[in-house]
Structure 1
Amino acid sequence: MFGNKKSHGQVLIDMAQKQQRYEALVHVYHKELYRFAYWLCHDPHIADDLVQETFLRAWRSLDALLDQKAAKSWLLTILRRENARRFERKQFDYSDVEQNDLVDQQCHSLDDEMEQTVIQRQIAQLSAEYKEPLLLQVVMGCSGEEIAQILDLNKNTVMTRLYRARNQLKEALSRNDGQLKGASK
């Protein structure tokens, strides 16, 4: 009836191996994916949903991941597409309160927290073409080649966008710093 018959035992072994691969992916990449998802959407609940949906899609197509070294890029690509689908479905959840504070387990001084908030807001104001490569590099620790693969761009384009993103961020932060110094006089 079917061309390739597997024994019941072999099917169980294959499923166990798939489950082990999947659990390893979740264990290694869950925190990083959540951090990136949070940077994309600024909402912990949506970030959780994005990560869950990413891992669900990863489970369904785990057999397509042939090179374990490409797992991070593969998962980030799935997460980015899932985030894009969120807008296609137009399920906007507007809130009167901004949720800019990601709870961090470490204790920071008030100055550090304020500085981090300013940087996060400035990064959020960058256009998507500059923000995404910067976040992939800074938050996810991706190389230029990995970013190029994830965003389906030429590596030189990625490096140019990273350079411009850093420059725009630097200019915005120096303007912001100048405004703060002017206000404190």
Structure 2
Amino acid sequence: MLNVFLQIVDTPEEQSRFEDLYYSYRKLMFYIASEILHDSGLAEDAVNEAFFRIAKNFSKINEVHCPRTRNFIVIIVRNISIDMVRRDSAGAAAAQEFVDTMEDTAAELPESRLEFAETKRVIRELPAIYRDVLLLFFVDGYETKEIAEFLGLHRETVKKRLQRGRAMLKERLRDDE
């Protein structure tokens, strides 16, 4: 399957980096998908879909081994897996329970400012639909168009989630003061 993804990536250098990414993160991605889907076949499908999306946007990934990339990959595979469960209405409650109880699987980014660390902490406590877009937008620096592509959403949906997420974030930061 790796060869299919390598054909999507443009240059030989990017192909080598993508192969490194594939072997570095595939087990983590499969673990996350399995925890949500409770089915190894579906988990493989989710991981393949995630790698397909990552390959299509691989030029936007600068470093393979960094917390930003790991966070991005975790969000992508988690959202794909949850979407698959939502399609199966009987499993929707199980997916939400996993999201609610799942500890932060993304690596903590090194912090130099206490204020930024506190803001990120509050973002991580928000519901997943707002948390993911806020992390990708504010922490990782992606644009709404890119986030929409990564998560398989409409751009307007991403904008609305950012708007609502910001409002929730401001409210919670005010409450913490």
TM-score w.r.t. structure 2 length?
0.47
Larger Rg: 1
TM-score w.r.t. structure 1 length?
0.45
